[in-house]
Amino acid sequence: MLFCRIILSVALCIVCTCSAIAQKIKTDSVYSLPEVKVDETRLNDFSTGLCIIKIDRKKIEASHLLNLAELISENSGIFLKTYGQGSLATISIRGTGPAHTGLFWNGININPPNLGLSDFALIPAALINSAEIQLGSSASLYGSGVIGGAVHLNSQPDFKKAVNISASGLTGSFGLYEGSGSGIFSNKKWYSRVAGYYRECENNFPYSNTAKFGSPKEKLVSADYFSYGGTAEIHRLFKRNYSVALHAWHTYTHRNLPPSMTSSDNHEQQSDSSFRFMIEAKKLFAKSTLKTKVAWLNEYLRYENQTADVHEKVNTQGIISEAEFATQVFKKAKLNVGINYTYYYADIIQYSTAKTRNQAAAFLSFLYPFTKINWKATVNLRQELVEGYAVPFTPSLGMEGKVWKSISAKANVSRSYRVPTMNDRFWVPGGNPDLKPESGWNAEAGIFTSFNDSTKLFTPNFSATAFSSLIDNWILWQPLPTNNNIWTPVNLQKVWARGFESKAGLRFKQRTIETGINAFYSYTLSTTVETSDALQASIDKQLIYVPQHNLSASFNFKWKTVFISYSQTYTGKRFTTSDNTASLPGFTVSNLLLNYDLKLNKYAIGFGFRSNNIWNTTYQTLAYRAMPGRSFTVSLTFKIAPPTSPKGRL
């Protein structure tokens, strides 16, 4: 605890020092910003050549029943790897593993250090304000683990006079009940947002047990769960364009873990609790921005297996401090420099003693616009120092620009890496302290359309991207040669992930009518290039649970206060063995959403209906893990939204 306080004090000193330096740089600078929202982030300013999918806020609000993994899968075609409804859910991007996907909250990586990946089922859409999916490596921007891509959850404060309050309740199939609420209170100096939810579900849906002869119908047992949580943020805008923000996020989930189709009920249960706090400060100058932040992350997990008399506790903490300074230099070019310090602490019984990890990073980004030819280029450089490892220098180069009329091209090449998790290193028995970081090179190139004329009735969009990643020292757990009951991680493989992805859409808007059609398709080959002698049968074979084909399509229709959305996802065949001798068939799942708002002056009552798996498809995402058939939910929402001022600034 004392060391944590010292680290926090150091972080705060960094913040204060950087603020003082900035004041010296531009003393008494006063700059009145245009009355619009300003969103300056590394993701938006220095991700040139990369693909970013932004999920529409209205779609997020209408999908508050879903968790983050389901929301992403439905709106991007990214493969959702889940052990069943309410159970562990992760995503894999561009043929990489779940540990190669970063999860960021206002720019801070919140993946726990013991696993290096997050359970997206624990994050309800009801708490999300903004969600963006970045495809491809951005290790040069954000560091270790961001090889396949990243998911960014950000706040979007708007300093204008507004009061928005909503409360909703829903009920659905399989004993589902949920209540949620949110509120926004803001003016020219303050912005605050709170949101909370409670959900419980018996989750006792019927399924066909394909592990038994004749695939008899059974009901899922020991799968009930309940969850609650909330988020709060408050932003204060001072004179001279200086702002401070506080963020808090807490969730708690308790769930029984159902058996697979081939096993008996061991009465397993798991509780997950997370606390996240952050303070950040921002100072805007005429052509520069100084941002500092300090975050504290606490993850707690308790697992029990009554049959085996197993009782385990996992507690991890992280303190992350960061400061960055962005400025406009000659010819409208942008320069961003920053430092990051991270301290991790893990108290896990399998480690024998509590373990810590210290890491620091320095990063620089430079954006140069070639205005005469409508192109821009970005160079990102990052060097991390991680206790116990020699990590590579991670540069990247990205370019994009117009090639003909509304058609543009893009390209990006970068280096990436992933430091072994604390479980990889310290787990007893089996942990391997001699592991090397995974390291790779990533490249992508593509074309896209850009139509900025909002007066047109029809607005099309299209993009196509080819990508390739070669990842060396891929970490894989395998049994010890001397004891098959003990597994250990080793740098066993070199993996080549490559493929093609395309996105197309058409939007129509006229007065009170707005419709849109969107489709996302990806073709992915992710194969083993080099491995050990014992796994030679996996050479040139597709990695397990990486589908070659993924497709999602959606149709949205809005007329006045009526909103209809139909979405369909297709997931291709997935191999379940490394030699590709066994597989799961592809499947298609469709969902329907209907919302209607009855507006009464400043009040509104919303009626919602949703059907998941509307065509009652029988499928499995993981072998012998049951998934629900058709289900329904109905919801009622009450909203208060008085007229707001059109003026806002940040």
What digits encode the pLDDT tens for the residues 598-642?
Answer: 988 889 999 999 999 999 999 999 999 999 999 999 999 999 976
Report how far apart, in Å, the C-alpha atoms of 353 and of each of 220, 302, 426, 428, 648 are: 38, 18, 9, 10, 51
The answer, yes or no, to whether residue 643 has pLDDT greater than 70, is: no
30 versus 256: the higher-pLDDT residue is 256
pLDDT-above-90 percentage for the chain: 73
- The mean pLDDT of 90-110, rounded to a whole number, is 94
330 versus 327: the higher-pLDDT residue is 327
Q: What tens digit of pLDDT does each residue of 376-427 get?
A: 999 999 999 999 899 999 999 999 999 988 899 999 999 999 999 999 999 9
Q: Shortest CA distance to 564 belongs to which of 536, 599, 597, 541? A: 597
The answer, yes or no, to whether residue 194 has pLDDT greater than 60, is: yes
Q: What tens digit of pLDDT does each residue of 420-455 get?
A: 999 999 999 999 999 999 999 999 999 999 776 666
Q: What tens digit of pLDDT does each residue of 543-600 get?
A: 999 999 999 999 999 999 999 999 999 999 999 999 999 999 999 999 999 999 998 8
Q: How far apart are CA 389 and CA 393, in angstroms?
A: 13
The CATH code that applies to domain 2-23+40-232+239-640 is 2.40.170.20
Q: Shortest CA distance to 77 belongs to which of 501, 465, 556? A: 501
Residue 59 pLDDT class (50, 70, 90 cuts): confident
Model pLDDT, residue 309: 87
Model pLDDT, residue 35: 34
Q: Shortest CA distance to 259 belongs to which of 84, 416, 439, 430? A: 84
How far, in whole angstroms, is CA 80 from its chain's centroid?
12
Mean pLDDT taken over the chain:
89
The answer, yes or no, to whether residue 489 has pLDDT greater than 90, is: yes
- The mean pLDDT of 497-505, rounded to a whole number, is 95
* DSSP class of 100: G
Q: Other C-beta atoms within 10 Å of 613: how many?
A: 19
Residue 32 pLDDT class (50, 70, 90 cuts): very low
Phi, psi dihedral angles at 3 (to 5 degrees):
-65, -40
Output the pTM of the full model. Answer: 0.90
Write down the domain spans for the chain: 2-23+40-232+239-640
Do the Cβ atoms of 300 and 314 come closer than 8 Å?
yes
Model pLDDT, residue 452: 66
Do the Cβ atoms of 443 and 465 come closer than 8 Å?
no
Among 20-34, 170-184, 376-390, where is mean pLDDT lowest?
A: 20-34
Residue 13 pLDDT class (50, 70, 90 cuts): very low
